[in-house]
Structure 1
Amino acid sequence: MSEEIKAAEGKEESFEELLNQSFKTLDTGEKVTGIVTAITPTEVQVDVGAKQAAYIKFSELSDDPNAKPEDIVKVGDEIETYIVRVNDVEGYAELSKKRLDAVKVWENIETAVEEKTVLEGTVTEENKGGIVVSVKGVRVFVPASQSGQPRGADLSAMVKQKVQLRVTEVNRARRRVVGSIRAVTDEARRAAQEEVWANIEEGKRYSGTVKSMTSYGVFVDIGGVDGMVHISELSWSRIKTPAEVCKVGDPMEVYVISFDAEKRKISLGVKDHSVNPWQVFMDKYAVGDVATVRIVKLMSFGAFAEVVPGVDGLIHISQIADRRIEKPEDVLSENQTVDVKITAIDEEKQKISLSIRALLTPAVEETDEPAEIEE
């Protein structure tokens, strides 16, 4: 063999060695980044710059069994994976994106505990003493006391809801993660409260929600802060209980009547005071007109009836029937609707006299009329 041939063979061997040295060495358990070269019916092929052909089984691509490979990766994408197994004899390497994603999620969750990061997940089930939230495939247990729901609430209603939470405890060895939804909602509520108190002023309007009810009014949430609407401010009509006009959970447009930032109290109104009920009445009715009214209160001397919302008139006991009666409730009952004739209007005192009898007996003696509109 000539020296020239030997030299050429030596160069070829040297080139092959250099080429082999240029390939990455793949070791099981390591991370490796490659380029997607093909997507076949069973796997995703990846060029990782090694001698071995590398691929990812579809089952190792995502923890979502319904996910389609083409929705996760495309040819030409750079992808970071975890080396599951290397077979040098047959010249291939098995990779897993799913396992690397899981490792990253655990790392992110541990970091979230340190940095108190807010994470998002979906409630997957109600568990003994709480609920389970899936955060990127990791099960996070949220105790009932940290669910953000009232004590005794039906937690199964939260299943499939998206929630935000803070991770409070992580035990990676036992694969146990505990979180709190309440920590996030409480913080958001505090921020909203500060926002309300920083910008509140008399007359300001809010779109609120009825939070709770009492016999004397309702409490309305106006964005993390509850204000009180007294029963007298709920309606121009005379009502006995707030339940006549609203219920818990109802939206309610309100405005600020007054507030005490020090005591953290807010008085709210609903009635539109730009509307004058008396003027509405005067524009609509005159003495001699017939009106359909609602009985709102029975007294010993007669009955008060709502003519228009916010304006009541008195039907004196002598004007309730075409016969003598002992008491108004012998003929009338509260909330009953009756037709009456308007017999007198005192504009100065804003008082109205009404009569049912006038419609029953056309000729009513003037002496039967009450001398004064009583209260």
Structure 2
Amino acid sequence: MYKTASRFLQYLAYKGATFWQPKHKRKKPKPQRNIIPKKIITAYRKKKYVKGKIIGQIKGGYSIHISSSKVFCPFSEMYPKGITKSDLSNLQNKELEFKIIQVYPNVVVSRKQAAKMEALRNARMAFKKRVILSGVVKEIKEYGVFIDIGGTDGLLRINEIKKKGLSSSDLIKGKIIKIVITDLDINTSRISLSLPVDLQTDHPFTKSDLVGI
């Protein structure tokens, strides 16, 4: 019986017949994870800011070069509203501060959060030196007006406005006005504002001096 079967198989092989063989599935190679620099991981864990450069615009945001790596910054995390594309093009290849907000599966950074912290640091210096600043009227409420002072907001209370002989109707949204910082809390990002006085005469500025610069 075995001889007959063997001869039969030889005959089939002679005729060129092929036999079914189980196919071995090839194991798919595991995707390699991006090697994240230690500097980026440390900054993420310690919530520190890192310096990087804007390389260019890509789908959904911007490509940023940080510590010999390309990372991603979404449009929503690039800058507050009001920044134009021409402003961003001027910042390309300039060293800026970023905050790491995600490291896996891809590194994602935020310029908006870092810019806000920079604005708070600048506001603290202006507060210490009692510098007169220019701010943009951002939002008008019953209790006061929120003023954008370069990346962060301060509150100009309604009683401070009335002291200078003005009303909330004089402060139109988008107007540039002169203000001084009277109080600042870095931890809560709360900034209190007031309308300034002329440092030479020690008298309040007139309405034309304060509004419509």
Structures share a fold, TM > 0.5?
yes
- Structure 1 counterpart of 2:53: 35
Give CA deviations for 1:251-280 in whole Å, capped at 9, x if unaligned. Answer: xxxxxxxxxxxxxxxxxxxxxxxxxxxxxx
1:156 match: secondary structure = helix
Equivalent runs, 1:332-371 vs 2, <5 Å: none
The answer on whether the counterparts of 1:61 and 1:96 sit within 8 Å (CA) in structure 2 is: yes
In the TM superposition, what is the alpha-carbon distance from 1:63 to its structure 2 partner?
Answer: 0.6
- Structure 1 counterpart of 2:167: 154
- Structure 1 counterpart of 2:19: none
- Structure 2 counterpart of 1:127: 141
Q: 1:180 aligns with which of 171, 194, 213?
A: 194
CA distance in 2: counterparts of 1:178 and 1:126, whole angstroms: 15
Determine whether 1:167 maps to 2:174: no
CA distance in 1: counterparts of 2:183 and 2:92, whole angstroms: 40
In the TM superposition, what is the alpha-carbon distance from 1:77 to its structure 2 partner?
Answer: 3.4
Q: 1:190 aligns with which of 201, 205, 208?
A: 201
The answer on whether the counterparts of 1:39 and 1:75 sit within 8 Å (CA) in structure 2 is: no
Q: 1:53 aligns with which of 64, 70, 73?
A: 70
TM-score, normalised by the number of residues in structure 1:
0.38
CA distance in 2: counterparts of 1:113 and 1:75, whole angstroms: 31
Task: With a CA cutoff of 8 Å and minimum separation of 6, indicate the structure with the bigger relative contact order.
Answer: 2
CA distance in 1: counterparts of 2:70 and 2:139, whole angstroms: 42
Equivalent runs, 1:65-76 vs 2, <5 Å: 66-69=82-85, 71-73=87-89, 75-76=92-93
Q: 2:122 aligns with which of 91, 94, 108?
A: 108
Give CA deviations for 1:229-267 in whole Å, capped at 9, x if unaligned. Answer: xxxxxxxxxxxxxxxxxxxxxxxxxxxxxxxxxxxxxxx
2:93 match: secondary structure = coil
CA distance in 1: counterparts of 2:93 and 2:181, whole angstroms: 36
Q: Which amino acid aligns with 2:198?
A: E
CA distance in 1: counterparts of 2:138 and 2:53, whole angstroms: 35
1:187 match: secondary structure = coil
CA distance in 1: counterparts of 2:94 and 2:187, whole angstroms: 33
The answer on whether the counterparts of 1:61 and 1:69 sit within 8 Å (CA) in structure 2 is: no
- Structure 2 counterpart of 1:62: 79
Change (3 A) 1:132 1:36: closer
The answer on whether the counterparts of 1:124 and 1:132 sit within 8 Å (CA) in structure 2 is: yes
Q: Percent identity?
A: 16
Give CA deviations for 1:208-243 in whole Å, capped at 9, x if unaligned. Answer: xxxxxxxxxxxxxxx9xxxxxxxxxxxxxxxxxxxx
Structure 1 gaps of 5+ residues are: 1-19, 193-222, 224-375
Q: How many residues align?
A: 162
In the TM superposition, what is the alpha-carbon distance from 1:69 to its structure 2 partner?
Answer: 4.2
Determine whether 1:85 maps to 2:102: yes
Name the structure with the higher strand share. Answer: 1
Which runs of 4 or more aligned residues in structure 1 lie more than 4 Å from their structure 2 counterparts after TM superposition?
none
Determine whether 1:99 maps to 2:130: no
2:187 match: secondary structure = coil
TM-score, normalised by the number of residues in structure 2:
0.64
CA distance in 1: counterparts of 2:200 and 2:103, whole angstroms: 53
In the TM superposition, what is the alpha-carbon distance from 1:116 to its structure 2 partner?
Answer: 0.9
CA distance in 2: counterparts of 1:130 and 1:49, whole angstroms: 44
